Amino acid sequence: MPGGRASSSYGLSVTDDKDARIWERIKDHPCFSEQAHHYFARMHVAVAPACNIQCNYCNRKYDCTNESRPGVASVKLTPDQALRKVLAVASKVPELSVIGVAGPGDACYDWRKTAATFEGVAREIPDIKLCISTNGLALPDHVDELADMNVDHVTITINMVD
Q: What phi and psi, each to the nearest 5 degrees, are found at residue 96?
A: -60, 115
Q: What is the pLDDT of residue 6?
A: 35
The pTM (predicted TM-score) of the whole model is 0.78
List pLDDT tens digits, range 28-41: 766 666 776 667 77
Residue ranges of the annotated binding site for S-adenosyl-L-methionine are 57, 105, 157
Q: What is the pLDDT of residue 10?
A: 45
> Alpha carbon of 46 to those of 80, 110, 159: distances in Å?
12, 11, 21
Q: Residue 113: name the closest of 36, 18, 33, 49 by CA.
A: 49
Residue ranges of the annotated binding site are 51, 55, 57-58, 105, 157
Q: What is the pLDDT of residue 66?
A: 55
Q: What is the pLDDT of residue 61?
A: 63
Q: What is the pLDDT of residue 3?
A: 33
Contact (CB, 8 A) for 121 and 86: yes
**CATH class of the 40-156 domain in this structure:** alpha beta
d(CA 130, CA 29): 10
Q: What is the pLDDT of residue 79?
A: 97
Residue ranges of the annotated binding site for [4Fe-4S] cluster are 51, 55, 58
Residues of the chain with pLDDT under 70: 1-18, 29-33, 36-38, 57, 59-72, 161-162
Say how many C-beta atoms besides its own lie within 10 A of residue 142's C-beta: 21
Q: How far is CA 136 from the centre of its chain?
A: 14
- Name 104's bridge partners: 48
Three-state SS for the chain is CCCCCEECCCCCEECCHHHHHHHHHHCCCCCCCCHHHHCCEEEECCCECCCCCCCCCCCCCCCCCCCCCCCCCCCCCCHHHHHHHHHHHHHHCCCEEEEEECCECCCCCCHHHHHHHHHHHHHHCCCCEEEEEECCCCHHHCHHHHHHCCEEEEEECCCCCC
Question: Which residue spans of the chain are classified as CATH 3.20.20.70?
Answer: 40-156
